[in-house]
């Protein structure tokens, strides 16, 4: 789920950047440091939408660097337990399948795939119903529910399920229109 | 600092751990799924103190916090039983089927609580509009070889575009905001907007926390679903 939040960060700037374009350099450094990162609390910082306030700089003793407290607004993406997402399948194996929803990876275990779907190995491994009507393979779009999250230094990893009502394949790339 | 930040964010979770008295320490450790790291995570981030959420956290404590552990998912796909991992510390106790709905209801409450003050939930259609503006700016800036578009932005932008099922995000927001009068939370509204339901059964199946106020919200949900259908882009 996307959120628009206000965050605060202490930015350190080398004295060589001081001058009439100090603010621009601070904002550029902020974007470079923060955009694309992942925080356990806020999730993926997708994009900075604006800088609300830059406080007074504090000179650090001994180094000459100056620390500025910067308040900024950003769009973040963070999955939550219980959330329903539409994801694209990236890999299928006998343990389950991996899917991607934006920057987030989700794993759906075979235990959380409906019992009437079985794994079919081959060039294009997939899960298929006994009558062949529904297939989950690479590039399929599935609707799943997040049931658990794990946060790493740079990414968030989720466990999902498609075993509940109204979950499962939305679009199968193998089916011709 | 990261650890402190983690604990600060788990402020309602801290209360919940307190409410789990009687459960084994091992179960508590096992049930703590999220691991918040690291230097880059903590450094420079000033955590604004959470607003007083005693009312909600006490509601959570009353509902009885239970977390699903990953190790239990490896052994069994049945979530109803797996929630007993934390509960049944001893061998002699009978397994009790715990419904999944309280877990989800707690999550919906958590959606509001874990975020800092002033956070605004965005539906995928709203995020698509915001990210589209930023993308247009970035296209100009990306001509400078020093500036690189982050991969997570591209993925998030693509994701929001694909899941943008409506032609008027503002109108959709207006329609769904009216549901707040019927005890529907921000998180539930957002989920509903993203899911694009076709009927009220789908809404209750995907967002079980709404079932708690079914007398209050059923009619309003039906009206909202009918209104949302007008703004849906044809497939």
Reduce the secondary structure of B44-67 to three states and give it as a string.
Answer: CECCCCCCCCHHHHHHHHHHCCCC
Q: Cα distance from B155 to chain A (closest Cα, Å)? A: 5
pLDDT of residue B103: 47
pLDDT of residue B69: 44
Is there a contact between A11 and A32 (Cβ–Cβ < 8 Å)?
no
Dihedral sign (CA A75, A81, A82, A85):
positive
Chain A nearest-CA residue for B70: A148
| CB of B17 less than 8 A from some CB of A | no
Instruction: Collect the ranges in chain A with pLDDT lower than 50.
Output: 176-177
* pLDDT mean over B115-131: 85
Question: Are A2-77 and A84-176 the same fold in CATH?
Answer: no
Give the three-state DSSP class for A16: helix
Per-state percent for chain A, helix, strand, coil, to nearest 5: 10, 55, 35
Cβ-based contacts of B202 with chain A (< 8 Å): 166
Cβ-based contacts of A11 with chain B (< 8 Å): 44
Of B29, B48, B25, B35, the residue nearest B2 (C-alpha): B35
Give the domain A84-176 fold.
OB fold (Dihydrolipoamide Acetyltransferase, E2P) (2.40.50)
Is there a contact between B153 and B131 (Cβ–Cβ < 8 Å)?
yes
pLDDT of residue B142: 60
Superfamily of domain A2-77: RNA polymerase Rpb7-like, N-terminal domain (3.30.1490.120)
Cα-based distances in Å from A45 to A57, A73, A103, B137: 24, 10, 10, 17
Cα-based distances in Å from B72 to A33, A80, B36, B51: 38, 19, 21, 34
- At B50-104, the pLDDT tens digits run 444 444 444 443 444 444 444 444 444 444 444 444 344 444 556 555 555 554 4
pLDDT of residue B165: 87
The whole-angstrom distance between residue B102's C-alpha and the CA centroid of its chain comes to: 14
pLDDT of residue B116: 63
pLDDT of residue B45: 44
Identify which of B42-56, B81-95, B154-168 has the greatest average pLDDT. Answer: B154-168
Give pTM, 2 decimals: 0.70
Is there a contact between A158 and A174 (Cβ–Cβ < 8 Å)?
no
Query: Out of A8, A35, A150, whose CB is closest to B35?
Result: A150
Cβ separation A1–B120 shorter than 8 A: no
Cβ-based contacts of B156 with chain A (< 8 Å): 2, 44, 46-47, 75, 77, 102-103
Residues 95-114 (B) with a CB less than 8 A from some CB of A: 103-104, 107-108, 110-111, 114
Q: Map out the domains of chain A as residue ranges.
A: 2-77, 84-176
| CB of A86 less than 8 A from some CB of B | yes
Residues 6+ apart with CB under 8 A from B139: none
Of B24, B14, B109, the residue nearest B60 (C-alpha): B109
Most B-contacting residue of A166, A170, A177 (CB-CB within 10 A), to test interface? A166
């Amino acid at each position: 789920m996307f959120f628009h939040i206000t965050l605060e960060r202490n930015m350190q700037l080398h004295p060589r950047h001081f001058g009439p374009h100090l603010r621009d350099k601070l904002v550029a450094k902020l974007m470079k440091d923060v955009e694309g990162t992942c925080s356990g609390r806020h999730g993926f910082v997708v994009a900075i939408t604006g800088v609300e306030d830059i406080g007074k700089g504090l000179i650090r003793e001994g180094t000459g660097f100056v620390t500025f407290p910067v308040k900024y607004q950003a769009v973040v993406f963070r999955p939550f337990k219980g959330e329903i997402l539409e994801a694209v399948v990236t890999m299928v194996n006998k343990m389950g399948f991996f899917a991607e929803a934006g920057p987030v990876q989700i794993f759906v275990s075979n235990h959380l795939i409906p019992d009437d779907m079985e794994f079919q190995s081959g060039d294009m491994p997939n899960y298929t119903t006994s009558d062949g009507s529904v297939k989950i393979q690479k590039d399929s779009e599935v609707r799943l529910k997040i049931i658990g999250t794990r946060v790493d230094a740079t990414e968030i990893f989720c466990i999902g399920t498609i075993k509940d009502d109204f979950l499962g394949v939305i679009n199968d790339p193998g089916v011709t229109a | 600092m990261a650890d402190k930040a983690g604990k600060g964010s788990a402020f309602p979770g801290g209360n919940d751990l307190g409410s789990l008295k009687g459960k084994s320490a091992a179960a508590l450790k096992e049930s703590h799924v999220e691991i918040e790291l690291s230097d880059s995570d903590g450094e420079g981030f000033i955590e604004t103190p959470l607003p007083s959420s005693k009312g909600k956290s006490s509601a959570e404590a009353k509902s009885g916090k239970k977390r699903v552990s990953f190790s239990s998912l490896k052994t069994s796909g049945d979530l109803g039983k797996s929630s007993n991992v934390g509960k049944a510390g001893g061998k002699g106790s009978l397994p009790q089927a715990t419904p999944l709905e309280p877990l989800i209801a707690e999550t919906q409450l958590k959606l509001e609580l874990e975020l800092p003050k002033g956070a605004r939930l965005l539906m995928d259609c709203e995020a698509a509009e915001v990210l589209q503006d930023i993308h247009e700016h970035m296209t100009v800036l990306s001509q400078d070889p020093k500036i690189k578009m982050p991969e997570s932005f591209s993925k998030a932008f693509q994701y929001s575009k694909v899941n943008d099922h409506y032609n008027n995000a503002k109108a959709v927001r207006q329609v769904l905001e009216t549901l707040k009068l019927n005890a529907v939370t921000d998180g539930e509204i957002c989920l509903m907007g993203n899911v694009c339901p076709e009927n009220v059964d789908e809404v209750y199946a995907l967002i079980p926390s709404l079932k708690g106020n079914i007398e209050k919200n059923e009619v309003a949900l039906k009206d909202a679903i009918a209104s949302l259908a007008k703004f849906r882009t044809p497939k």
